Amino acid sequence: MIFSVVLIYLAAINIVTFFLYGIDKWKAKRSKWRIEEATLLWWAAFGGSIGALLGMKVWHHKTQHKKFSWGVPAILIAQLLVAGMIVYCIEYGVIDHLIGCFAAVE
């Protein structure tokens, strides 16, 4: 159940992030109001890093900015590391052990 919810969340946020990069590129070409860089990075940080990377590649957007060309891949690596740690903890019962330790203290 929770795995399905997480997958739906990640799919949705990556699709939105991808299109945000495209919209910002479209607006940049027309000298219109732009989406703030911080907003684009926050969408990547909240799970849309793959969508951000794809958006940068497909729309050729923000590829020359170091905070994007280095920052978005760094966000993705950090997210993968955290996901790996969570999977490891679940697989090897670390979470259950910690819960048992806290329950013993009460």
For the stretch 34-60, pLDDT in tens is 999 999 999 999 999 999 999 999 999
Please count the helices (runs of H) and the strands (runs of E) in the chain. Answer: 6, 0
The band of 105, judged by pLDDT with boundaries at 50, 70 and 90, is low
> For residues 76 and 68, what is the distance between their CA atoms, to the nearest angstrom?
12
49-59 vs 71-91: helix crossing angle, rounded to 10: 150
> For residues 88 and 43, what is the distance between their CA atoms, to the nearest angstrom?
26
Chain centroid offset of residue 77 CA? 10
70-86: per-residue pLDDT in tens?
999 999 999 999 999 98
Closest CA to 45 of 8, 82, 85: 82
71-91 vs 94-105: helix crossing angle, rounded to 10: 70
